[in-house]
């Protein structure tokens, strides 16, 4: 049970509002003229993707609470009804800023670089002819217009799909005159279509699918007059519900639940700003939404689909320089990864250093006849992961392969179900974790015959086994052959796959058993040292800080004189810099080219400098509802590296680090010092070939 709160509600900030503040910081990257132009467009799309999930999960959850009549406030004291009102106000303002930036700055800047989105009102006769031919050849055959009448009720509109509401007059071949129809755009159709250069005079000329359909929609309704055609998009509740008490087979239950995700309760309606009031009211009525749920936008209703433009346009001068990750010196000449790990612990800092050693580790394990068993956790790994191919090959070769697949990894459930099926087909042992707890720990263990016995090798990480995201997320990974660490890893695997009581571990801290109490103990030890007049310091880097008891312990530590520096990329419920409460706490958020994802926990510990790396944020779900591991760095050399690479540059950053005030507002503080960017510094030091 959570401990009772010792501090009043106004000492905590709200999670949802903090998440919107994070997206404002991401949007600032899109507004930053020093960021390459196509990357600015990419940041704009990332904000849209983030907001989609925000509505699908967070806003949907609030609406569900209100529907059930709940008035229970979170730690910040905001009741669901008041919180939803504030969320809606801020979300409307944020989305308005986003479209103003797109239409007023980014699209005109792209046009000056020869990347043009041709407006429908400006199409030439030749362009019109090409677009009509394209529509008749590629688009019209896959469209199914649905007239609305008693025989054709309003269709089931899928979550986040592109749709068009069409107002009509006249009668059709059967004498029907319903006046309205719905056209759904299949997801297979590209939302951005490139025109031939000879038609635009520029290298990259595009039109939107929505513009094409607007222009040609009359082809779908022969003999009738189109009065209006309006694009719209609905966002639905996408949280999966699996009843702990009723479910008997998680995989079967999940397979039955997934198809319903696209048809959950509507939570947001986006329409183009030219949509008539009559049609707007009609759509709101169909989706049982109010005016506060309506988002009128001056442009396409799905900015996420613009992400294809930076990827598809060959303009290196408008993108970040190509990433060429470095390698630790120990691995540049050695080809035997096991010999390298036996020699010393190896720390990898992604994306500045390559993820290939982890792939090589698993590849050699799959091919090495001395390797008898491989165990691995899978949370997110991608649909075409090379790691999975090595696991499949190892299983086919007769090795004991055990994979803990987390089926409830949000929005990756289907990919993980497919991975699990493929592994089972080749004889691997597939386990779906512990029901009621997500397996979020990142662990890989190899058992190898050596010197007449067995030796375990382990990899522990702060991020997912996802080769693609390791090039865009900052994370640490540890390769080790230390027996006391690998023994702990083996014990955690035994707990997940088998049955038995929790056993004390040598070094690893584990959720839901020891991680929370251990973090509290480490914070309180620094507090006691400060009260006794000693030097005390805490530095913590994470994605989110929400757990109330941890926040209260940090408040206590601040009041005792502990210097606390928190690097929290996303949501933070702690109020820093409040006199008498948290004046010794600083909170920073670094937003840059790479997504800050590593979790680092530093405690001065009387000069011992205890450093832990983890897959867990300081959130209730990570402490109490997930299986997580937090591992110490035992090698002094690696401790110094994490301080030098993972903490110090971020504390000194004066160009991409946002400082948070007591009200939850963020700003980049002006500095007279030379410009320091942590990510750029690490690129120059660890990937010097750039």
Catalytic positions are 440
β-sheet bridge partners, residue 206: 117, 194
Q: CA nearest 52: which of 261, 311, 291, 275? A: 261
Tokens of 245: 């008490």
Measured CA to CA in angstroms, residue 361 lies from 365, 390, 400, 538 at distances of: 6, 10, 16, 34
Question: From the CB of residue 150, how many other CB atoms can be counted at a distance below 10 Å?
Answer: 7
Contact 163, 233 (CB under 8 A): yes
Question: From the CB of residue 605, how many other CB atoms can be counted at a distance below 10 Å?
Answer: 15
Tokens of 666: 């963020």
Strand order in the sheet with 146-147: 146-147, 180-184, 163-169, 225-236, 266-272, 294-297
Residue 490: is the preceding peptide bond cis (ω within 30°)?
Answer: no
Q: What is the DSSP letter of 436?
A: T
Q: In the Cβ-directed half-sphere of 2, how many Cα atoms lie within 13 Å? A: 18
Residue 302 to residue 206: CA distance in whole angstroms: 16
Contact 393, 359 (CB under 8 A): no
Residue 249 to residue 679: CA distance in whole angstroms: 45
Residue 512: is the preceding peptide bond cis (ω within 30°)?
Answer: yes
Residue 240 to residue 565: CA distance in whole angstroms: 36
Q: CA nearest 268: which of 294, 249, 239? A: 294
């Amino acid at each position: 049970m959570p401990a009772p709160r010792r501090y009043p509600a106004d000492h905590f900030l709200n999670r949802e509002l903090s998440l919107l503040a994070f997206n404002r910081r991401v949007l600032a990257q899109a507004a930053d003229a020093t960021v390459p132009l196509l990357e600015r467009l990419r940041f704009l799309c990332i904000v849209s993707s983030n907001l989609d999930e925000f509505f699908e999960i967070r806003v949907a959850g609030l609406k569900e609470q209100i529907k059930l009549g709940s008035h229970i406030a979170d730690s910040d004291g905001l009741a669901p009804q008041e919180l939803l009102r504030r969320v809606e106000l801020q979300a409307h303002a944020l989305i308005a800023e986003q479209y103003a930036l797109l239409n007023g700055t980014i699209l005109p800047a792209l046009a000056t670089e020869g990347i043009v989105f041709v407006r429908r009102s400006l199409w030439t006769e030749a362009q019109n002819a090409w677009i009509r031919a394209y529509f008749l050849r590629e688009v019209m055959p896959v469209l199914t217009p649905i007239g609305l009448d008693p025989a054709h009720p309003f269709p089931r509109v899928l979550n986040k799909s592109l749709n068009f509401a069409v107002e009509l007059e006249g009668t059709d071949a059967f004498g029907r005159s319903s006046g309205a129809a719905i056209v759904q755009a299949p997801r297979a159709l590209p939302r951005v279509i490139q025109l031939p250069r000879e038609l635009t005079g520029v290298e990259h000329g595009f039109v939107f699918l929505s513009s094409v359909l607007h222009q040609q929609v009359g082809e779908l309704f022969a003999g009738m007059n189109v009065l209006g055609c309006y694009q719209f998009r609905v966002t639905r509740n996408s949280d999966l519900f699996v009843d702990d008490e009723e479910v008997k087979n998680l995989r079967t239950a999940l397979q039955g639940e997934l198809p319903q995700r696209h048809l959950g309760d509507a939570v947001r309606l986006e329409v183009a700003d030219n949509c008539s009031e009559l049609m707007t009211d009609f759509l709101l009525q169909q989706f049982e939404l109010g005016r506060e749920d309506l988002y009128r936008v001056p442009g396409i209703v799905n900015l996420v689909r613009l992400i294809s433009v930076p990827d598809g346009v060959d303009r290196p001068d408008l993108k970040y320089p190509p990433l060429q990750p470095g390698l630790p010196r120990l691995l540049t000449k050695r080809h035997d990864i096991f010999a390298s790990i036996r020699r010393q612990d190896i720390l990898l800092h992604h994306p500045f250093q390559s993820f290939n050693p982890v792939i090589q580790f698993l590849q050699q394990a799959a091919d090495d006849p001395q390797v008898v068993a491989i165990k691995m956790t899978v949370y997110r790994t991608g649909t075409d992961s090379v790691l999975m191919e090595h696991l499949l090959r190892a299983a086919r070769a007769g090795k004991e392969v055990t994979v803990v697949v987390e089926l409830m990894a949000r929005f990756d459930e289907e990919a993980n179900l497919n991975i699990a099926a493929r592994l089972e087909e080749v004889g691997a042992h597939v386990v779906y974790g512990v029901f009621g707890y997500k397996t979020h720990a990142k662990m890989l263990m190899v058992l190898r015959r050596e010197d007449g016995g067995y030796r375990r090798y382990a990899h522990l990480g702060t991020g997912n086994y996802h080769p693609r995201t390791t090039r865009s997320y900052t994370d640490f990974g540890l390769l080790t052959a230390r027996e006391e660490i690998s023994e702990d890893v083996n014990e955690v695997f035994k707990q997940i796959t088998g049955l038995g009581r929790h056993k004390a571990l040598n070094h690893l801290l584990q959720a839901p058993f020891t991680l929370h109490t251990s973090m509290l103990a480490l914070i309180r030890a620094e507090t006691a040292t400060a009260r006794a007049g000693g030097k005390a310091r805490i530095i913590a880097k994470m994605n989110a800080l929400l757990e109330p008891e941890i926040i209260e312990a940090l408040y206590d530590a601040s009041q005792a004189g502990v210097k606390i520096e928190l690097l929290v990329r996303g949501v933070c419920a702690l109020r820093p810099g409040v006199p008498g409460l948290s004046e010794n706490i600083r909170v920073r958020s670094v937003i840059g080219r790479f997504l800050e994802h590593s979790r680092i926990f530093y405690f001065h510990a009387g000069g011992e400098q205890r450093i832990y790396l983890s897959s867990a944020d300081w959130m209730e779900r990570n402490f109490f509802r997930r299986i997580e591991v937090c591992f110490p760095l035992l090698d002094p050399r690696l401790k110094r590296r994490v301080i030098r690479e993972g903490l110090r540059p971020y504390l000194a950053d004066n160009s991409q680090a946002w400082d948070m005030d007591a009200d939850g507002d963020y700003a980049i503080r002006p500095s007279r010092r030379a410009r320091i960017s942590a990510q750029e510094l690490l690129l120059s030091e660890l990937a010097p070939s750039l």
